[in-house]
């Protein structure tokens, strides 16, 4: 029997931030900030990922990556991405939300 290993990117979404309100510049309109703990693989700008919530999921594009300085969580980054159109991600701390690469 053989085992197949997956190197697909996977991460746990810890927090959601509305960048429209935080950064009202026109270049950030329609963007969402997600604090993500990368569990497997890596993130890159331009990458398409699937944002999965408790009841829905949608494909989003990573527009930017911001390192968060936290020595206790070195694999946590903030991604700037397109806002989902099919559902509204709640702001603040999230539980049960993930992102996975395509």
| Average per-residue pLDDT for the chain | 84
Full set of structural domains in the chain with CATH? 11-101 (2.40.30)
Whether the pLDDT of residue 1 is over 50: the answer is no
Whether the pLDDT of residue 89 is over 80: the answer is no
Match 């509204």 to its residue by tokens. 88
pTM summary value: 0.82
12-26 pLDDT, tens per residue? Answer: 999 998 887 766 666
Asked which of 18-22, 82-86, 93-97 is least confident by mean pLDDT, the reply is 18-22
């Amino acid at each position: 029997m053989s085992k197949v290993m997956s190197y697909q990117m996977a991460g746990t979404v810890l927090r959601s931030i509305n960048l429209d309100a935080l950064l009202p510049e026109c270049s950030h309109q329609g963007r969402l900030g997600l604090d993500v703990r990368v569990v497997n693989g890596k993130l890159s700008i331009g990458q398409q990922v699937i944002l999965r919530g408790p009841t829905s999921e949608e494909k989003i594009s990573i527009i930017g990556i911001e390192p968060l300085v936290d020595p206790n969580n070195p694999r946590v980054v903030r991604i700037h991405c397109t806002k989902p159109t099919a559902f509204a991600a709640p702001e603040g701390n999230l539980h049960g939300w993930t992102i996975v690469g395509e």
